[in-house]
Amino acid sequence: MAVASLYALVILYSWLLPGRYASIYAAIVCTILTITSAVQSKEMAANAQELSHMNVVISLVVLWISVMLILIAKSGFVSLENSNLRLTENSITLLEKVKELDVKQQELSKRKIQLEDLNSELLLKNQELERFTSIASHDLQEPLRTIGNMSYLIQKKYYNNLDDQGKKILEYISGATSRMTNLIKGLLDFSRIGNKRDIQIVDCQELVKTITEDFDTALKAVKGNIIFNELPQVKGNPLELRILFQNLISNGLKFKRSNTPPVIEVSAHERNSHFEFCVKDNGIGIDESNYDKIFLIFQRLHSLEEFEGTGLGLAYCRKIVELHGGKIWIDSKKDVGSSFHFTLEKNT
């Protein structure tokens, strides 16, 4: 009967059977077989009954202990397998994410290369521009200065030897020369805006006050008035902002309607991240079809006889505002007046 203990081997092998409870089923089958054989052997050996009962009990104890062991071991394995499965799943998603990242990285490096290309192109264009500036400043200026110098000499030494027509011709030459000198100087100054700039807090109230004082004589001559009140502080380059306000105000004084004293109003409105300034005049105004033209360099809408100028003022203004990260635009009505709006960053 102790042979029934060998069923323990069956139980141990049931480890290999699939299913969590396979060992239990095997154990039940083995138990039944053991009991059945014990019942059958009763008839064969009555004297050995006591012993065989003991054997059955021992076999069953061994059998079920094996079952317990198998179950414990197997359940440990199952949970291990589960975490293994989860780990595998996680590593698969991780791998996918890594792949995605890799693709994104490739895209990024492609973009970076594109940006670098654009940047070097820009640098090249900038260099070209600088070369152009130096040509404008020196190479064009040199012969122009000679023309100016020589017409000055003629004016100084031979003016009285010329007849009226000759004098007139000489005056045209001198006038055109000094105008061209101014244009080239303006062009050079224009290209210089933005070089070597530092950003400070600028008090616009103070700035406009100083400009108004500078315009004092001009204002009195035309009986003009400049109105401004509690203008805010902004972040910017003081020199450039001065040119900006100065140009807009002097435009207002220059492009006045005849018989109407110019009144210029400077105001500011707070917006989310910036201030919106407005320089409003009561001058001749601009037709809507010319709104875009006026901010272009050397663009003029009037003949020199009507209004003198280089056609640089508003181009300066646009460049300065854009350098400060702002926008400039106009709102105007012919024969009523113009309002120049521009935005500047708050002092925060």
Partner 1 sequence: MTDKIDQLNCVLLIDDDEATNFFHRIIIEEEWPDLHIQAVPSAKEGLDFLLSRGAYSNQPKPGIIFLDINMPAMSGWDFLEEYNDLSKDIHDCAVVSLLTTSLNPDDEEKAKSIPVVKEFVHKPLTPEVFWKVVDEHFIYN
**Residues binding partner 1 (CB under 8 A):** 137-138, 141-142, 145-146, 148-150, 152-153, 184-185, 188
Residue written as token pair 């323990």 = 8
Q: Which is nearer to partner 1, 141 or 205 (CB)?
A: 141
Phi/psi region, residue 309 (left: phi>0; alpha: psi -120 to 50; beta: rest), is left
Query: Looking up tokens 């975490």, which residue turns up?
Result: 83
The residue assigned the tokens 């009763």 is 42
> Closest Cα partner for 159 from 176, 146, 145, 173?
173
Q: How far is the CB of 186 from partner 1 (least distance, A)?
A: 10
Amino acid at 8: A
Least distance (Å) between residue 319 CB and partner 1:
18
Which lies closer to partner 1 via its Cβ, residue 108 or residue 150? 150
> In the bound complex, what is the minimum distance in angstroms from residue 324's beta carbon to partner 1?
23
Closer to partner 1 by CB, 22 or 154: give it.
154
Q: Which is nearer to partner 1, 50 or 142 (CB)?
A: 142
Q: What's the closest the beta carbon of residue 146 comes to partner 1, in angstroms?
A: 4
Tokens for 209, please give them.
């006050």
Nearer to partner 1, 82 or 146 (CB): 146
Q: Beta 225-228 vs 233-236: how paired, if at all?
A: unpaired
CA distances from 113 to 108, 109, 121, 221 (A): 9, 6, 12, 60
Question: For residue 139, what is the DSSP state?
Answer: I
Closer to partner 1 by Cβ: residue 91 or 146: 146
Give strand ranges (E) for 146-290.
Answer: 200-203, 225-228, 233-236, 263-270, 274-280
CB nearer partner 1, residue 84 or residue 146: 146
- Measured distance CA(346)–CA(348) in Å, rounded: 6
The token duo for 183 is: 């244009």
Shortest reach from residue 122's CB to partner 1, in Å: 23
User: CA 345, CA 205: separation in Å to the nearest integer?
Assistant: 15
We find the least distance from the C-beta atom of residue 148 to partner 1, in angstroms, to be 7
Q: Which is nearer to partner 1, 146 or 229 (CB)?
A: 146
Least distance (Å) from partner 1 to the CB of residue 172? 20
Beta bridge partners of 202: 234
Q: Which is nearer to partner 1, 194 or 261 (CB)?
A: 194
Smallest gap from residue 178 Cβ to partner 1 (A): 13
Residues 129 and 135: their CA atoms lie apart, in Å, by 10
∠ CA(130), CA(132), CA(135), 5° rounding? 115
Residue pair 319/186 in contact (Cβ under 8 Å)? The answer is no
Q: What share of the chain is helix, strand, coil (3-state, %, to 5)?
A: 65, 10, 20
- Single-letter amino acid code for the residue at 63: L
Hey, what are 31's tokens? Answer: 């138990």
Distance (Å) of CA 2 to CA 26, 34, 63, 180, 334: 18, 10, 11, 125, 121
* Minimum separation from the CB atom of position 142 to partner 1 (A): 6
